[in-house]
């Protein structure tokens, strides 16, 4: 295939993904949680599953949102969603979709006998793509800004940002192809192989890393997360990222999202300008405080709306209880994972850890996949990735969910 034809195919694919996702937002997502028309903006992200046999593309998970909790609002019981940026919410919703697919023995997974028991492998037939209506916050957003095509998400004055670490770069940084990008030092939190950035956001300073950095992590470690990794033989790859509303070459964004901590496949980066998102950021609009999550769970289409990491509209007496939790919080997702393991044959390591789930702690569930943890250690070490303290934030007991 000539380069020109290849380029046309990629452009067609980006247009198709954009139309599919924006139609999905307009027609399939319920109105609850969407921004107020003409007055509010948000970011919308979706995961698309591609079946390479039927060429079918389907939205299987989605999220909206631009907010993250500040340091003083973080939750040690797993009931709040700390990071409600659209890409992150969509990824959490995707994990719920994947749990449901394993539970329903869908064609997406193949069962593989291993020395430690049955594990799953994503079928080569299926690929997963990410769509988003704004360049991911952090470096991709800065790169897009430097190319004069867009503005950063939720940018705010430098004195509002936390000064966790000033990092090594105080002067303009260089994009991989040599373009100068000004990186405010307050955003840099790590001095590994390359700088990492905190999320932009108003109010209480956040500790969440930017979506550009999180995508980098998904590229290296897979989309499935640590819990699901214990049931799989290997990671679930992200194949491409399509960003809509950009009239530029995706090369700069490609270089940004394909930086490497260690050898791992590249993710394709596509841009599209065939459709506009109704709730895109504009100067006269304020960010919507709400976040929607959507997961396709077999025939069920499940949505949840959150505000400040908890269910929208929950009353004060429900704070800290299940009634205040949205389905994509760590506690409920971990519970779904544990329930799944009870209904299927799982590797010995997982079944023995869960044999008595009275008092099982979230941090213990996160350590059940040797290949994932090995990769994560290597990744975190090479990038000096700031990790939250598991003894503080991952030490909650899952049985408490039923109270
Ligand atoms: Zn973001």
pLDDT in tens, 57-113: 999 999 999 999 988 888 999 999 999 999 999 999 999 999 999 999 999 999 999
Residue 116 CA to ligand 1 centre (angstroms)? 38
Residues with Cβ–ion distance below 5 A, ligand 1: 85, 137, 211
Total tally of structural domains belonging to the chain: 1
Residue 327 CA to ligand 1 centre (angstroms)? 20
Whether 277 maps to a domain, the answer reads yes
Whether 398 maps to a domain, the answer reads no
Mean pLDDT in the chain? Answer: 87
Note down the domain range covering 326.
3-393
**Residue 143 — very low, low, confident or very high, per pLDDT cuts 50/70/90?**
confident
Q: Residue 13 half-sphere exposure, CB side, CA atoms within 13 Å?
A: 22
Whether 230 maps to a domain, the answer reads yes
**Residue 186 — very low, low, confident or very high, per pLDDT cuts 50/70/90?**
low
Whether 159 maps to a domain, the answer reads yes
Residue 257 CA to ligand 1 centre (angstroms)? 13
Least confident of 17-31, 145-159, 180-194: 145-159
Least confident of 97-106, 308-317, 393-402: 393-402
Whether 401 maps to a domain, the answer reads no
Residue 84 CA to ligand 1 centre (angstroms)? 8
pLDDT at position 358: 65
Q: Residue 381 half-sphere exposure, CB side, CA atoms within 13 Å?
A: 7
Residue 209 CA to ligand 1 centre (angstroms)? 8
Whether 400 maps to a domain, the answer reads no
Residue 354 CA to ligand 1 centre (angstroms)? 34
Tens digits of residue pLDDT in 359-383: 789 999 999 999 999 999 999 999 9
pLDDT at position 251: 87
Whether 77 maps to a domain, the answer reads yes
Residue 236 CA to ligand 1 centre (angstroms)? 21
Residue 96 CA to ligand 1 centre (angstroms)? 20
Which comes out higher in pLDDT, residue 202 or 192? 192
Tens digits of residue pLDDT in 239-293: 999 999 877 778 889 999 999 988 999 999 999 999 999 999 999 999 999 999 9
**Residue 237 — very low, low, confident or very high, per pLDDT cuts 50/70/90?**
very high
Residue 142 CA to ligand 1 centre (angstroms)? 12
| Residue 71: both structure tokens together | 């340091």
Residue 383 CA to ligand 1 centre (angstroms)? 19
pTM (global) more than 0.85: yes
Which comes out higher in pLDDT, residue 155 or 136? 136
């Amino acid at each position: 295939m000539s380069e020109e034809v290849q380029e046309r195919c990629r452009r067609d694919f980006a247009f198709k993904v954009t139309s599919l996702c924006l139609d999905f937002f307009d027609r399939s997502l319920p109105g609850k949680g969407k921004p107020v028309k003409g007055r509010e903006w948000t970011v919308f992200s979706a995961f698309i599953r591609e079946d390479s046999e039927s060429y079918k593309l389907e939205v299987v998970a989605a999220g909206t949102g631009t907010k993250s909790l500040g340091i003083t609002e973080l939750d040690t019981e797993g009931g709040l969603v700390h990071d409600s940026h659209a890409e992150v919410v969509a990824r959490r919703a995707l994990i719920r979709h994947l749990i449901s697919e394993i539970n329903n023995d869908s064609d997406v997974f193949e069962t593989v006998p291993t020395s430690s028991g049955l594990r799953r492998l994503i079928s080569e037939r299926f690929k997963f793509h990410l769509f988003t209506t704004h360049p991911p916050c952090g470096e991709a957003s800065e790169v897009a800004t430097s190319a004069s095509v867009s503005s950063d998400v939720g940018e705010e004055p430098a004195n509002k940002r936390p000064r966790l670490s000033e990092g090594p770069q105080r002067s303009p940084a260089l994009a991989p192809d040599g373009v100068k990008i000004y990186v405010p030092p307050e955003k840099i939190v790590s001095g590994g192989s390359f700088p990492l950035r905190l999320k932009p956001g108003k109010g209480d300073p956040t500790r969440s890393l930017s979506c550009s950095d999180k995508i980098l992590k998904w590229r290296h470690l897979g989309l499935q997360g640590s819990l699901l990794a214990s049931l799989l033989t290997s990671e679930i790859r992200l194949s491409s990222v399509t960003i809509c509303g950009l009239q530029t070459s995706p090369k700069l964004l490609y270089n940004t999202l394909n930086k490497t901590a260690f050898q791992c496949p590249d993710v394709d980066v596509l841009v599209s300008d065939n459709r506009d998102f109704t709730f895109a950021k504009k100067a006269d609009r304020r960010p919507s405080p709400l976040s929607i999550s959507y997961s396709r769970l077999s025939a069920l289409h499940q949505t949840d709306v959150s505000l400040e990491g908890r269910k929208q509209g929950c009353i004060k007496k429900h704070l800290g209880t299940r009634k205040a939790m949205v389905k994509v919080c760590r506690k409920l997702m971990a519970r779904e994972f544990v329930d799944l393991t009870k209904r299927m044959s799982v590797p010995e390591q997982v079944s023995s850890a869960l044999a008595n789930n009275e008092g099982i702690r979230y941090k213990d569930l996160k350590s059940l996949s040797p290949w994932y943890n090995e990769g994560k250690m290597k990744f975190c070490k090479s990038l000096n990735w700031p990790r939250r303290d598991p003894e503080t934030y991952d030490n909650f007991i899952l049985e408490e969910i039923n109270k």
